[in-house]
Structures are given as structure tokens and as C-alpha cells.
């Protein structure tokens, strides 16, 4: 029997919630899996060029972790993946592959592992559970991984929350975007993020959309990453003057993300502002309107 799983993209951090907040978005990856005589891996679409299709493939290796933990012998697998999630842009494409592999392999063996067990494996792999948590549980996820265990709570997104992303036409690896961050931060910056991230979670949990613009500010990672994305500093400073509820770097970037009230009459203005600001810095970007998923 063949199983098919559909996994949402995700945006991590939401500004101040570095490695702690994630939100699933309605852009999807699809993974088919079946037990086969001989392992074959099909990656459908141009953007998959260069990704291995032998047993070193991420989906294949993550599936083995499920079989190991469930104590079942390793079957040969047929795997096919198609994804609408752009790769290496800060929209959780690798987390979607991990979560799809976990959910697919688990479905193949009759869901022997719980969602929590899948979440623990995914968090161990990623070392931060923000993208995988959102892709696995959906909605808005508040999570941590302390090196031993991951914990998460899912929040239902407000029905008026919309998401505008501007996806630059260049890739930025998470590794590079993490390498520019300092090893230690000042107490005042830690307190700044603690208070803003807490307020953001409270605003999202209570539907206080007007509070988002005060809460969605960050001193831990965005200031260090801004030089990697021409136009980012201007977008962070000015998007709220063009109708955004709040604005942030999506995950490790380079995608920029704005939260928008679905009832706003300034959506076109905001979209033009994001595109034009990036274009002026020589970056061409695709904009997409998304919803939490
Ligand atoms: N929280 C992570 C980061 C997400 O910002 O580096 C990207 O994997």
C-alpha cells in the first residue's frame, strides 16, 4: 500500500522568537512512500536538481530512524517527493522533508510511533524545533528543545491573519545565516527578546492583532543577518508604515515575511513596498499571499 503525506511550509522565529516560534503556511510538499523490492527515490521538479536519490537521501535516512525506533526491520522503499516550497529560502523546506519522511514512514508501519515521538526525532535532527514543530502540528507553535527533550504548544491562528512573503531569487543557507551571529549576547538584548517574544505569543493567542507591531521586534538575530539581505533593514524599519501588522525575516532568510490583517485595504501598497525596496537594492523577489495552515 502506498501512503501520501502533505506537509506545510513553515516560517520560524516570527521576529523575536528565535528558535522558539513557528507558523505553518499553506504551501505544501507531498511525499509518497511504499514498501518496494528495491529502493528508488524520485524527486519531481527543477529545484530538486543536485539532491541525492540514493540511500543518503534525507527522506530515506529519516524514514530509517522511524523503523529503528519502532523496532521494525528496514524495508526497501519507493519514495517520491514533489514540493511547492522553495528550497533554502527560509520557508522550512528541509523541515518539511523531515516531517514528511517521519509521518510517511510511520503511516507505512501502522502509526506505531506517537506524534510526540516523531517530534522528538525531528527536534534532535534540527536542534531547534520551530520549523519542524509547525510542519508537524500546524498552526502557530511555541516550542523548545533543551538538548534532551522538545516541548511544544500549538496555538490556533486568528482567522484574520494573512501572510505576505517576499522570496528573493537567491539562496541563503541556515548554516551561513547562523554563522554571522555572536556566541554571546548582552543581558539587555536577551531581556528585549524575552519581553517582545512573550508579548507576541500573548497577542497571537488572544487575537490582539494591533499589538503585533509593538511585539514583532528582535535584537538577537535580525540585526546580524540584515547585511546578508540587501533591503532587509529598510523593510524591517518601514513595513508598518505601509500597512503591515508586523514584519520579520522568515526563519534564517532570505525571505521577508509580513503579517497582515485580512481586512486591510493596503495590501497592494505593502506588496509594492516590499518588492520595490528589494529591487532598489538589486534583489528581484517573488511575492506570495499565504495563510496560516
Ligand atoms: N530558527 C532557525 C534560525 C530557523 O533562525 O536559524 C532556520 O532553520
The pLDDT tens digits for 135-188 are 999 999 999 999 999 999 999 999 999 999 999 999 999 999 999 999 999 999
Mean pLDDT confidence for 243-266: 98
The residue whose CA is least distant from atom 4 of ligand 1 is 251
The residue whose CA is least distant from atom 6 of ligand 1 is 252
- SS3 for 260? strand
Ligand 1 centroid vs 256 CA: distance in angstroms?
Answer: 13
Rounded (10°) angle between helices 115-126 and 130-137: 150
Ligand 1 centroid vs 17 CA: distance in angstroms?
Answer: 10
DSSP annotation of 127 reads: S
Our answer on whether the CB atom of 218 is closer than 6 Å to any ligand 1 atom is no
Which of 9, 11, 18, 249 is the pocket-test mutation for ligand 1 (most atoms within 8 Å of CB)? 18
Report the chain's terminal Cα–Cα distance, integer Å.
Answer: 28
Question: pLDDT above 70 covers what percent of the chain?
Answer: 100
CA atoms within 13 A on the CB side of 87: 11
Ligand 1 centroid vs 72 CA: distance in angstroms?
Answer: 33
Our answer on whether the CB atom of 13 is closer than 6 Å to any ligand 1 atom is yes
Ligand 1 centroid vs 131 CA: distance in angstroms?
Answer: 8
∠ CA 119-177-53, nearest 5°, is 60
- SS3 for 243? coil
| CA dist list (Å): 139 to 155, 171, 291 | 6, 26, 10
Name the band, by pLDDT with cuts 50, 70 and 90, for residue 51.
very high
C-beta neighbour count of 41 within 10 angstroms? 18
Our answer on whether the CB atom of 91 is closer than 6 Å to any ligand 1 atom is no
Which of 252, 255, 256, 257 is the pocket-test mutation for ligand 1 (most atoms within 8 Å of CB)? 252
pLDDT of res. 113: 98
Q: What is the pLDDT of residues 67-120, one digit of tens each?
A: 999 999 989 999 999 999 999 999 999 999 999 999 999 999 999 999 999 999
- pTM given for the model: 0.96
Amino acid at each position: 500500500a502506498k501512503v501520501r503525506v502533505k506537509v506545510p511550509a513553515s516560517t520560524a522565529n516570527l521576529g523575536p522568537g528565535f528558535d522558539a516560534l513557528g507558523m505553518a503556511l499553506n504551501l505544501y510538499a507531498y511525499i509518497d512512500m511504499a514498501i518496494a523490492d528495491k529502493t528508488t527515490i524520485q524527486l519531481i521538479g527543477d529545484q530538486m536538481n543536485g539532491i541525492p536519490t540514493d540511500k543518503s537521501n534525507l527522506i530515506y535516512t529519516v524514514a530509517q530512524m522511524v523503523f529503528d525506533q519502532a523496532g521494525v526491520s528496514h524495508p526497501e522503499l519507493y519514495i517520491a517527493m514533489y514540493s511547492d516550497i522553495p528550497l533554502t529560502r527560509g520557508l522550512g523546506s528541509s523541515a518539511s522533508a523531515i516531517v514528511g519522511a517521519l509521518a510517511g514512514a510511520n503511516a507505512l508501519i501502522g502509526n506505531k510511533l506517537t506524534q510526540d515521538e516523531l517530534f522528538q526525532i525531528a527536534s534532535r535532527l534540527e536542534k531547534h524545533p520551530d520549523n519542524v514543530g509547525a510542519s508537524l502540528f500546524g498552526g502557530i507553535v511555541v516550542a523548545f528543545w533543551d538538548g534532551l527533550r522538545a516541548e511544544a504548544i500549538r496555538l490556533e491562528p486568528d482567522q484574520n491573519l494573512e501572510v505576505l512573503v517576499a522570496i528573493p531569487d537567491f539562496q541563503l543557507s541556515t548554516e551561513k545565516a547562523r554563522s554571522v551571529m555572536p556566541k554571546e549576547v548582552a543581558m539587555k538584548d536577551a531581556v528585549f527578546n524575552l519581553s517582545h517574544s512573550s508579548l507576541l505569543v500573548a497577542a497571537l493567542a488572544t487575537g490582539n492583532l494591533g499589538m503585533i507591531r509593538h511585539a514583532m521586534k528582535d535584537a538577537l538575530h535580525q540585526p546580524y543577518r540584515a547585511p546578508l539581505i540587501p533591503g532587509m533593514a529598510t523593510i524591517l524599519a518601514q513595513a508598518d508604515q505601509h500597512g503591515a501588522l508586523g514584519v520579520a525575516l522568515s526563519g534564517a532568510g532570505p525571505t521577508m515575511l509580513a503579517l497582515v490583517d485580512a481586512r486591510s485595504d493596503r495590501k497592494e501598497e505593502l506588496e509594492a513596498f516590499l518588492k520595490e525596496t528589494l529591487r532598489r537594492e538589486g534583489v528581484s523577489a517573488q511575492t506570495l499571499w499565504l495563510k496560516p495552515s
